[in-house]
Amino acid sequence: MRALILMLALASPATTATATPTSYALQPALSSVGFETDFGPDLITGRMPVTRADLTLDFANVSASHVAVTLNVQGAEASFPFAAQAMKGPKVLDSVDYPEIRFESTAVHKSGDGATVEGRVTIRGVTHNMVMQAAFWRQKGHEAGDLSHLTIRLTGAVNRSDFGATGWADMVGDQVRLDILARIERTN
Amino acid sequence: MWRNTPTRFGLLTRALHWTMALLIFALLALGTTLANIQPGLANLWLYGLHKTLGFIALSLCLIRLIWHFYSPPPPPIGPARALTNRLARATHTAIYLLLLALPLSGWVASAASGLDVVIFGHITLPAIAPVSAAWEDTGFALHGLLTKALMALLVAHIAGATLRGLKHDGTLRRMIHGSTSTD
């Protein structure tokens, strides 16, 4: 999500109005965290609700932006029932003992038309570095230069085995690809 | 007609025998297939089918044992102490034990994986084992081992029945028609 913020820095006409760090709040009903992984020749897809998201965007100084997101593992849904149960079970995410996944950015860099967000992700109590690519847009209904409501798309991937989520390794792929679509609104 | 007598198999016993025979061969074929395919959305339903058929086989085996308690089947044809009959009785006993242990080991292993054991598409069976990698690994290893043992015993059972059929001693005819040719 921070990456999205960085992209805002690219919007030069808008930055003049928000040249200091700006806090944003997630619009949960309009946001989703999608994921997919390989299942034989097919894909398992699903969604995970966002519990909390703290976003501070600095369009003048992208590196000052910061993102912290917490996901609700127990609320996760997958494309078929067994996949959701397997994913939340003790062999994968172990949602009883680890009900949340957390990501917190450590650095944000401008990257092409978007941004690169480096951070630390904690899954099953194990923390590793993670890099996500970010892109952002102004939400529909808002004029150019109006950064009060933004849409951020973050993409990245983790290898679940790095976090001890090794269940059904003979059936389900190790790499989990994330596609986060967050809609945020300015709070200050 | 339905009940067994000292010399003949009743209709219920014969129906259970041949229904279970078909079911067991279908299960062995399906299980062997599942062990060798790459799981995917297109074949996921086969796992549910295997569990459903396995549960039916377990149920029929229990029904058969209860039925034989109330209506004992006839003993093997020929002298009771003959080696072939003692082997036949031992084989039958072992097959019954495997027909109980095999589905139970699959049930235990599936339950230990943490996934619901669902039969007929929507009935969730009770979890009869704790969610545990050790229980799951042991259960599936046992399931595979017992499957091979059952295959070996079925080969012996079919070979014995075929030999008796070739000798026209009435054993095979009795399980098909209920009585021997001399009854």
pLDDT tens digit at each of 183 positions of chain B: 899 999 899 999 999 999 999 999 999 999 999 999 988 899 999 999 999 999 999 999 999 999 999 999 998 888 878 898 999 999 999 999 999 999 999 999 999 999 999 999 999 999 999 999 999 999 999 999 999 999 999 999 999 999 999 988 888 899 998 887 554
Mean pLDDT of A6-10: 43
Give the domain extent around B97. 11-177
Residue B2 lies in a domain: no
| pLDDT given for residue A53 in this prediction | 85
Residue of A39, A85, A171 lying closest to B116 (CB–CB): A85
Residue B142 lies in a domain: yes
Q: What domains can be seen in chain A, in order of their start residue? A: 2-186 (2.40.128.110)
Beta bridge partners of A52: A70
Express each pLDDT in B152-177 by its tens digit.
999 999 999 999 999 888 888 999 98
Residue B42 lies in a domain: yes
CB contact under 8 A, B131 and A89: yes
Which chain A residues are Cβ-neighbours of B137 within 8 angstroms?
Answer: none
Residue of B42, B44, B114 lying closest to A89 (CB–CB): B114
Q: How many domains does chain B have?
A: 1
Residue B104 lies in a domain: yes
Residue B87 lies in a domain: yes
Residues in chain B whose Cβ is within 8 Å of chain A: 38-42, 44, 113-116, 131, 133
CB pairs under 8 A between A and B: 34
Mean pLDDT of A3-27: 57
Which chain B residues are Cβ-neighbours of A39 within 8 angstroms?
Answer: 39-41
Tell me, what CATH number does B137's domain have? 1.20.950
Residue B61 lies in a domain: yes
Residue B165 lies in a domain: yes
Residue A12 has pLDDT above 50, yes or no: no
Closest chain B residue to A39 measured between Cα atoms?
B40
Predicted complex: ipTM over 0.90: no
3-class SS letters over chain A: CHHHHHHHHHCHHHHCCCCCCEEEEECHHHCEEEEEEEECCEEEEEEECEEEEEEEECCCCHHHCEEEEEEEHHHCEECCHHHHHHHHCCCCCCCCCCCEEEEEEEEEEEECCEEEEEEEEEECCEEEEEEEEEEEEECCCCCCCCCCEEEEEEEEEEEHHHHCCCCCCCCECCEEEEEEEEEEEECC
